[in-house]
Amino acid sequence: MAVLELVTAPDPRLKSLSEPVTDIDKKLRRFMADMVETMYAANGVGLAAIQVGVPKSVAVIDLDPKGPNSKVIYLINPKIVRTSDEMSTYHEGCLSVPEIWDDVKRPARLTVEYQDENGAEQVVDADGLFATCLQHEIDHINGRLFIDHLSRLKRSIALRKSAKLKNKG
Ligand code: NI
């Protein structure tokens, strides 16, 4: 396994639409294992493939990476099929927008269909942090960052900060 290099804003790749995965094979599983290692190394709870520069409809989530409930969810071709009218707000951050956190309002509950790492069809109903995380990762797959949910002013401040961090190396 390997820790991969993270793509950070304002890199234009983060705005690209990721492509559906057709071959769920050993190579993809190896790549997803690298994504998990990269997520853990960066202290994240979720990572989409485009964040390591690969425009594939793939993400990994572990809501309790260092805790007793640590469990990786491998999401391939995830799609939101239902959302609640009720909204909830979480203070979000993103490995591709370092050192920025802000409140984002999203549907409180949702249903997502996806394929797992073995290619089996799965359906999950989520709420709480899991619901937020799923929507955040599916946004990445669709070329959106959490800061795209903020005001223009807040977004431009975040992008400027991220660009400055990148130039520092
Ligand atoms: Ni993110």
pLDDT in tens, 133-153: 999 999 999 999 999 999 999
Q: Is the pLDDT of residue 168 over 80?
A: no
17 CA from centroid of ligand 1 (Å)? 15
46 CA from centroid of ligand 1 (Å)? 7
How large is the average pLDDT for residues 62-72?
96
96 CA from centroid of ligand 1 (Å)? 6
Reading the block at residue 20, the tokens are: 């559906």
The CATH H-level superfamily of 13-161 is Peptide deformylase (3.90.45.10)
**Contact by Cβ (8 Å): 96, 6:** yes
Cα gap 163→118, rounded to integer Å: 38
Catalytic machinery residues: 137
Phi/psi class of residue 124: alpha, beta or left (left: φ > 0; alpha: ψ in -120 to 50)?
beta
Cα gap 9→13, rounded to integer Å: 9
